[in-house]
C-alpha cells in the first residue's frame, strides 16, 4: 500500500510546472489524488531541516464564529505536514505555523499586529482589509512576507511600494470588474454587515472598483434587525441606476444570518424582481461546493429560495473535485476529526490550506534560484507557479498574479440547486458562457449600462454620452490645446532667451564669464581652425588610459572625461568644460534650448552640477563643477589609493543614487561608463555627461561610429540597433551599471579577464550565443553583489531590475549600513590609533596559546585532575581503586640488541616502537603510566573508573599492539624481528603523585607486581593473562579467545594457573606467530638464539663498514657469505 502511495505521489507531484500535465500516468480524480498525497505525506519519513520557517495564520478566529468554522488550526496542520514531507519541496527549513487571533475591531487588530513581529517569519492575512495597507508597510519594514487571501485594497497593487505583499487568490475586485464588464452593469451599490471587518471590506471594494472608473454610488452598512436592513435597502432603491448590489457579509449558505434577513426583506420590498442583481462577496474568497450539495438554508426556507433567484453566487472553480469531497476523503482516512459535519465547515478551510502551500512553492522557487531569503525575495519568486491546492489548481503569472478561474452559480427560480452558468477566466479577463443561461426574476436581466464605462479614458454621463455634448467637447478640446500650446510656447521661448543670455542665472557663457587654465583657449589664440586639438597639445596628466589606436579629437564623439576637456575658473570656483564635437557653431537650436532648460533643473549630490553652456568663437561646450579626483576610471587605476569593500560599495551606492535620481526625473543617461563618473575631493562620486546625446541630436551634429573601446559598456540590444552609442534606454543604463560594477569590484578594465580585443568582445556581445559577459569570482565581492551584477547584465532587457530595485538590493547587501567614504577614512584613522591595543591583544593571544601548550603538555604527563590540582599548588591525595587492569610489555632480547647497536639507534628503535604504541592507546579507554627502557606500562580503570570495562579495554589494546609489532622492522636491523612479551593482571591498586620536582603519577600495590610477573613469565608474541583478568574477560562474554596455559610459577606467589589471550571474535587484524619451542628447549634457549643472531648481524655490519672502501660487488659478496654462515649455524643448532 505504501508503495502505491509513493507511486501516486511521484506521478502527481505537488509543485507543478510541467508535471501538472500528468500525461505519463493514469490519475484518479483530484479528490482521490489529494487523499493519496495526504496519506503519503504522513507515511513518508520526515525530512530533517536545518532551520524553522514559521507562518502566522491571521484571522478573527475567536471573535467571529463563522470565520472560526474555517478550522484554521486543522487546515494549517494538514498543509504544514504535507510541505514537510513532500520530497519535491527541498526548502532547507521545517515549516511550522502559529495561529494569530485578529481582533474584530480594526484599530485593535492593527495594534495587535504590531506585537506579532517576533511570532513568525511570514504571515497569512490579515482578514480585515481595513489595515492591509498598514500591515504591508510594517511587514516591508520587518522584511517579512505578507500573503493575503482577503486584502482587496487596490493600493497594494503597487509592487514598488509593497515589495513584501502578495495575494494568494485573485483580487475580488478584478473578478467583479470582469463580471460587470461582461453584463455591462456599471452602477454598483454595496451593503455591508456592521462588523468592522465587513465595513472596511465594503469601503475597500468600493475604492478598488472606483479606481477602474466604475460609479460605486452607495456603500451602506446594516445591523441584524429588520429596521436597519430596510433603511439600507431603501438607500439602494433611491440611488440612481444601480444594477448590481455587492453583499459584504457572511453568505447565508454557510450560516450568515444577516444575509438571510436582507434577502427576505428585499423580497418583501420587491427588490428581487429582476431590477437588481445581488452578489455575495465572501464566496469570492473560497471555492463553494455546488455539485450535488444541499444547503439547508435554501431547502428549508421557501421565502429565501424565492429571494435567492435574484442572487448570482460567484466562487472559485474547483473543477471536478469539490471542497466537501476533498474534506470527506480526509475525514475518511482520519486526517481531520470525524465529529465535525460537513455543513459545519467553511470552505475557507481550503483557501487557508492552499495559501500555505502557495508560500512553500514560492520558497522553493527562491531556493532553486539560490537567492537570499527575505520577505521581498519570497514575494518576488511567487511568480510563474502552478500547484494543486486542497481541492483545485493554483497558478500565477509572470507578475505573481493569481489566476484561479471563477464560476457563476444561479438557481432556476424553483429548486434549491446551484447551477453553473458562466466561467470567469482570470487569465484572459473574460467571462464565457457554459451553455446555461441565467434565470432572472421576471425574465429580464437588469438594464445594461453604456459600454463607455468600461473603456479607459472615455467620459460617461448617466447611461452614456450625449452626441451633441460629445461633438462640442471633441471640437473644443483640440482647439483649446492648440491655442494654449502656442501661447505657452511663445512665452517659454521668450523666457528662455532671457535666461540664456542675461541675468544672474544665465545659462549661455562666453570667454568673458569663464577663464581657462589651458592657454589654447584665450581671446588671442582661440579660432575656428583650432577646433581640432592634437594629442600632443595636452599635458600627460590630462589623459586617461587612452588607446594609441583611438586619437582623441573634438570632431569625434568621445567620452566626457578630462582627456578632451578644459579646466577653467567660473565665478571664483573651479569648473570643467566638456567640448562637444560641434565644429563651427554660431547659434543653438530651439531644441537645444529645451535640453539646456532640463539640465539646469537637475540638482543632486551624486550628479555633477551643471553651471552653463559655453558658446564663443564657434566652440560649444558643457560647463560643470570640477572634481579634483578625476574620473572613476582614473581612481580605479591609481594603485596608491587603497580600496576596501566599504570604499567600493560607497562609490557604487553613489552611482546608484545618481542614476535613480536621473531616471526619476525622466532622464536616460545613454552614455554611462566609468569615465563619465567623476569623484570630488570628498570621494563622492558624481555622474556627468548626462543629456549629452540629446544635445548632439538637438544640434543635428552628424553621427560618427564610436570606437569598440567606447562601446564596451553598451547593452546588446542597443549594439544591434542603428547608431549604437547615440540612443540609450533605462534598461540599457542598468546594463552599463553592471559593467561598471565589474570594474569597481576587480579594479580592472571591462572584460579584463578575457583575452580578447575590444572588437571581438563587441562582436560576441552583439551576436550570441554563447553569451559573452565578464567573469567575477565571489572572492572579490559578496555573493549578493555578484548575483545583482548578473541580473543587471541579463540578455533579456525586461528581466533587468530598475535602479529603484537595485538601490533596495544594494542596501540589503550592506545589511542596511550606510556607506560613506569619510566614515570609512575615519574608521581607518581609528584603526591606526588603536594599533597599540591590537598589538597588546595579539601578544595576549600568543601568551594564551603558549599557556594552552604548556597545559596540554602537562596533561600529557599527568592526568587532568592531578594536573589541575598541581597548578593551583594543592596536594594530591592518594586514591584507591577497587579494580583496574594493568598492562606490562617489554622487548625480548633488548639488552642484546642495545649492546650491538649505537645509542642513537636504540633511541630511534624505542621512539619508532612507542610512537606506534601511543597511537594505538589513543583509540582505547586506557592511561599510559610510564615507560622505563623497553618496558611499557598502561592502566585502565584509573584515574577515571570505567566499571568492568578495564579488562576489555586493555585486552583490545594488547591485541592491536601485538598485531602492529608483528610487522614492525628496526631501521638498523630490519632482519631481526622485534618480539615483545605482554602481561595483564586485574586487581586493586593505589595511585598518587610522588615528589615535588618532576612529579610522577605512580601506581602502588601487589597488582603492579603481579602484572609485571605476568609479563616476565610470558612468551614472545604472547599475551599472558592472570586468572583474575581471564575471569573478567570470560564474564564479559564479548568473544575473547582465552586458552589455558597451565601452572606457572610466579616469584613470591608460587604456582598458579595462567592463560593466553589469542584473539577475539570479529578481530581481523593479523597476529604474529609465536616461536615454537622444540622438545627440551626452554625460554632461556630462545634468548640465547636471539643473542647469537644479533651478534652475527652485528658482525656483518662491522665487516661491511670495514670494507666500505671496496666496490659494491665485493661488499655484497661478503655480506652474503656472512648471512649463509649464520643460517647454517642456526640450522645446526
Work out the number of other CB atoms within 10 angstroms of the CB of residue 1013.
23
Cβ distance 278 to 310 under 8 Å?
yes
Cβ distance 1018 to 1024 under 8 Å?
yes
CA distance 629 to 154: 48
CA distance 1093 to 917: 26
Work out the number of other CB atoms within 10 angstroms of the CB of residue 757.
12
Q: In the prediction, which pLDDT does 528 show?
A: 30
Residue 77 C-alpha cell reads as 496542520
Annotate 1079-1108 with DSSP letters as a single string: TT--HHHHHHHHHHHHHHHHHHHHHHHHGG
CA separation, residue 709 to residues 141, 177, 547, 826 (Å): 43, 54, 9, 37
Q: In the prediction, which pLDDT does 1124 show?
A: 42
H or E segment and range at residue 275: none
Cβ distance 173 to 214 under 8 Å?
no
Averaged pLDDT of the chain? 81
Intervals of the chain under pLDDT 70: 1-50, 457, 459, 461-470, 492-505, 518-565, 582-586, 814-836, 859-861, 865, 868, 870-875, 995-996, 1077-1133
Nearest residue to 155 (alpha-carbon basis) of 214, 218, 204, 216:
204
Residue 1098 C-alpha cell reads as 652485528
Annotate 166-195 with DSSP letters as a single string: EESS--HHHHHHHHHHHHT---EEEEEESS
Residue 208 C-alpha cell reads as 478598488
Q: In the prediction, which pLDDT does 386 show?
A: 92
The two beta strands, 419-425 and 430-433, are antiparallel
The CA R_g of the chain, rounded to the nearest whole Å, is 46
Residue 12 C-alpha cell reads as 502527481
Contacts of 1107 (CB under 8 A, 6+ apart): 1114, 1115, 1118
CA distance 437 to 641: 78
Q: In the prediction, which pLDDT does 825 show?
A: 64
Kindly report the pTM of this predicted structure: 0.44
CA quadruple 800, 802, 807, 809: dihedral sign: negative
The position carrying cell 504571515 is: 123
Residue 578 C-alpha cell reads as 566638456
The position carrying cell 515549516 is: 95
Residue 128 C-alpha cell reads as 480585515
541 burial level (CB within 10 Å; 0-12, 13-18, 19+): exposed
**Secondary structure of residue 623 in the 3-state scheme:** strand
Q: In the prediction, which pLDDT does 1000 show?
A: 80
**Secondary structure of residue 545 in the 3-state scheme:** coil
Nearest residue to 820 (alpha-carbon basis) of 603, 606, 602, 574:
606
Amino acid at each position: 500500500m505504501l508503495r502505491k502511495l509513493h507511486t501516486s505521489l511521484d506521478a502527481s507531484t505537488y509543485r507543478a510546472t510541467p508535471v501538472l500535465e500528468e500525461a505519463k500516468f493514469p490519475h484518479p480524480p483530484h479528490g482521490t489524488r489529494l487523499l493519496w498525497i495526504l496519506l503519503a505525506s504522513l507515511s513518508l519519513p520526515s525530512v530533517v531541516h536545518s532551520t524553522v520557517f514559521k507562518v502566522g495564520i491571521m484571522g478573527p478566529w475567536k471573535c467571529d464564529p463563522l470565520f472560526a468554522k474555517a478550522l484554521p488550526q486543522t487546515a494549517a496542520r494538514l498543509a504544514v505536514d504535507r510541505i514537510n514531507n513532500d520530497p519535491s519541496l527541498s526548502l532547507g527549513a521545517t515549516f511550522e505555523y502559529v495561529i494569530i487571533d485578529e481582533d474584530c475591531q480594526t484599530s485593535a487588530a492593527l495594534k495587535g499586529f504590531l506585537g506579532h513581529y517576533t511570532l513568525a517569519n511570514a504571515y497569512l492575512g490579515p482578514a480585515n482589509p481595513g489595515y492591509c495597507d498598514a500591515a504591508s508597510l510594517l511587514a516591508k519594514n520587518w522584511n517579512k512576507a505578507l500573503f493575503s487571501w482577503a486584502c482587496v485594497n487596490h493600493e497594494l497593487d503597487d509592487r514598488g511600494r509593497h515589495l513584501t505583499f502578495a495575494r494568494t487568490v485573485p483580487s475580488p475586485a478584478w473578478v467583479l470588474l470582469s463580471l460587470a464588464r461582461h453584463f455591462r452593469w456599471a452602477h454598483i451599490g454595496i451593503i455591508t454587515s456592521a462588523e468592522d471587518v465587513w465595513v472596511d471590506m465594503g469601503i475597500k471594494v468600493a475604492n478598488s472598483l472606483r479606481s477602474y472608473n466604475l460609479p460605486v454610488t452607495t456603500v451602506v452598512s446594516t445591523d441584524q434587525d429588520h429596521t436597519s436592513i430596510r433603511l439600507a435597502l431603501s438607500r439602494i432603491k433611491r440611488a440612481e441606476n444601480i444594477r448590481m448590489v455587492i453583499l459584504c457579509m457572511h453568505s447565508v449558505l454557510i450560516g450568515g444570518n444577516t444575509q438571510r434577513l436582507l434577502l427576505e426583506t428585499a423580497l418583501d420590498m420587491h427588490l428581487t424582481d429582476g431590477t437588481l442583481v445581488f452578489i455575495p462577496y465572501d464566496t469570492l474568497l473560497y471555492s463553494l461546493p455546488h455539485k450535488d450539495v444541499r444547503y439547508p438554508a435554501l431547502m428549508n426556507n421557501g421565502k429565501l429560495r424565492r429571494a435567492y433567484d435574484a442572487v448570482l453566487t460567484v466562487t472559485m472553480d474547483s473543477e471536478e473535485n469539490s471542497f466537501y469531497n476533498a474534506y470527506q476523503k480526509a475525514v475518511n482516512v482520519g486526517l481531520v476529526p470525524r465529529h465535525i459535519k460537513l455543513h459545519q465547515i467553511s470552505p475557507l478551510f481550503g483557501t487557508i490550506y492552499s495559501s500555505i502551500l502557495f508560500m512553500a512553492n514560492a520558497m522553493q522557487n527562491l531556493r532553486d534560484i539560490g537567492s537570499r531569503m527575505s520577505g521581498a525575495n519570497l514575494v518576488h519568486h511567487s511568480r510563474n507557479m502552478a500547484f494543486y491546492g486542497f481541492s483545485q489548481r493554483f497558478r500565477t503569472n509572470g507578475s505573481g498574479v493569481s489566476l484561479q478561474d471563477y464560476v457563476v452559480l444561479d438557481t432556476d427560480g424553483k429548486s434549491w440547486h446551484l447551477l453553473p452558468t458562466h466561467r470567469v477566466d482570470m487569465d484572459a479577463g473574460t467571462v464565457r458562457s457554459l451553455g446555461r443561461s441565467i434565470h432572472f426574476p421576471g425574465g429580464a436581466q437588469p438594464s445594461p449600462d453604456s459600454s463607455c464605462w468600461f473603456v479607459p479614458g472615455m467620459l460617461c454621463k448617466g447611461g452614456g454620452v450625449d452626441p451633441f455634448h460629445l461633438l462640442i467637447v471633441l471640437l473644443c478640446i483640440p482647439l483649446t490645446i492648440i491655442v494654449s500650446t502656442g501661447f505657452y510656447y511663445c512665452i517659454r521661448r521668450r523666457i528662455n532667451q532671457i535666461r540664456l543670455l542675461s541675468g544672474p542665472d544665465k545659462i549661455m557663457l562666453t570667454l568673458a564669464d569663464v577663464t581657462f587654465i589651458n592657454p589654447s583657449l584665450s581671446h588671442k589664440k582661440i579660432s575656428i581652425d583650432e577646433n581640432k586639438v592634437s594629442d600632443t597639445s595636452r599635458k600627460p596628466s590630462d589623459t586617461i588610459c587612452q588607446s594609441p589606436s583611438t586619437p582623441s579629437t573634438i570632431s569625434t564623439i568621445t567620452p566626457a572625461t578630462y582627456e578632451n576637456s578644459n579646466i577653467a575658473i567660473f565665478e571664483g570656483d573651479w569648473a570643467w568644460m566638456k567640448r562637444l564635437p560641434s565644429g563651427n557653431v554660431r547659434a543653438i537650436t530651439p531644441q537645444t534650448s529645451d535640453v539646456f532648460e532640463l539640465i539646469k533643473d537637475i540638482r543632486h549630490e551624486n550628479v555633477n552640477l551643471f553651471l552653463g553652456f559655453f558658446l564663443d568663437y564657434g566652440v560649444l561646450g558643457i560647463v560643470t563643477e570640477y572634481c579634483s579626483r578625476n574620473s572613476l576610471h582614473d581612481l580605479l587605476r591609481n594603485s596608491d589609493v587603497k580600496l576596501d569593500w566599504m570604499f567600493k560599495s560607497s562609490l557604487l551606492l553613489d552611482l546608484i543614487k545618481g542614476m535613480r535620481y536621473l531616471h526619476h526625473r525622466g532622464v536616460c543617461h545613454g552614455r554611462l561608463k566609468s569615465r563619465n563618473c567623476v569623484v570630488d575631493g570628498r570621494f563622492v562620486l558624481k555622474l556627468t555627461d548626462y543629456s549629452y546625446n540629446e544635445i548632439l541630436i538637438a544640434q543635428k551634429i552628424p553621427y560618427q561610429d564610436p570606437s569598440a573601446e567606447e562601446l564596451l559598456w553598451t547593452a546588446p540590444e542597443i549594439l544591434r540597433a542603428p547608431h549604437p552609442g547615440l540612443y540609450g534606454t533605462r534598461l540599457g543604463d542598468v546594463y552599463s551599471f553592471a559593467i561598471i560594477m565589474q570594474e569597481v569590484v576587480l579594479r580592472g578594465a571591462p572584460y579584463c579577464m578575457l583575452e580578447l580585443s575590444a572588437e571581438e568582445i563587441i562582436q560576441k556581445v552583439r551576436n550570441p550565443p554563447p553569451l559573452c559577459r565578464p567573469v567575477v569570482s565571489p572572492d572579490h565581492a559578496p555573493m549578493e553583489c555578484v548575483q545583482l551584477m548578473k541580473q543587471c547584465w541579463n540578455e533579456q532587457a525586461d528581466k533587468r531590475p530598475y535602479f529603484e530595485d537595485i538601490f533596495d538590493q544594494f542596501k540589503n547587501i550592506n545589511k542596511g549600513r550606510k556607506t560613506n567614504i569619510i566614515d570609512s577614512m575615519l574608521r581607518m584613522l581609528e584603526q591606526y590609533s588603536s594599533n597599540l591595543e591590537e598589538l597588546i591583544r595579539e601578544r595576549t593571544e600568543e601568551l594564551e596559546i603558549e599557556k594552552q601548550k604548556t597545559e596540554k603538555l602537562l596533561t600529557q604527563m599527568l592526568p587532568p585532575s592531578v594536573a589541575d590540582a598541581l597548578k593551583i599548588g594543592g596536594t594530591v591525595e592518594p586514591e584507591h581503586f577497587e579494580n583496574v587492569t594493568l598492562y606490562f610489555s617489554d622487548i625480548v632480547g633488548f639488552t642484546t640488541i642495545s649492546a650491538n647497536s649505537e645509542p642513537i639507534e636504540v633511541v630511534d628503535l624505542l621512539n619508532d616502537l612507542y610512537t606506534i604504541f601511543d597511537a594505538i592507546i589513543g583509540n582505547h579507554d586506557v592511561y599510559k603510566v610510564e615507560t622505563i627502557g623497553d618496558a611499557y606500562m598502561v592502566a585502565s580503570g584509573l584515574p577515571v573508573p570505567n566499571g568492568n570495562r578495564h579488562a576489555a579495554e586493555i585486552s583490545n589494546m594488547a591485541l592491536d599492539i601485538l598485531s602492529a609489532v608483528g610487522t614492525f622492522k628496526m631501521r638498523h636491523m630490519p632482519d631481526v624481528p622485534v618480539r615483545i612479551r605482554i602481561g595483564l593482571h586485574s586487581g586493586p591498586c593505589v595511585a598518587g603523585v610522588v615528589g615535588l620536582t618532576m612529579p610522577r603519577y605512580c601506581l602502588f600495590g601487589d597488582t603492579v607486581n603481579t602484572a609485571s610477573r605476568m609479563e616476565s613469565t610470558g612468551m614472545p608474541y604472547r599475551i599472558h593473562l592472570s586468572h583474575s583478568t581471564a575471569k573478567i574477560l570470560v564474564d564479559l562474554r564479548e568473544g575473547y579467545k582465552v586458552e589455558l596455559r597451565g601452572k606457572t610459577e610466579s616469584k613470591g606467589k608460587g604456582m598458579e594457573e595462567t592463560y593466553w589471550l589469542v584473539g577475539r571474535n570479529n578481530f581481523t587484524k593479523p597476529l604474529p606467530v609465536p616461536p615454537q619451542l622444540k622438545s627440551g628447549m626452554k625460554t632461556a634457549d630462545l634468548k640465547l638464539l636471539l643473542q647469537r643472531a644479533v651478534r652475527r648481524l652485528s658482525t656483518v655490519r662491522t665487516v661491511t663498514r670495514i670494507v666500505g672502501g671496496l666496490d659494491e660487488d665485493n661488499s655484497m659478496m661478503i655480506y652474503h657469505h656472512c648471512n649463509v654462515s649464520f643460517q647454517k649455524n642456526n640450522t645446526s643448532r
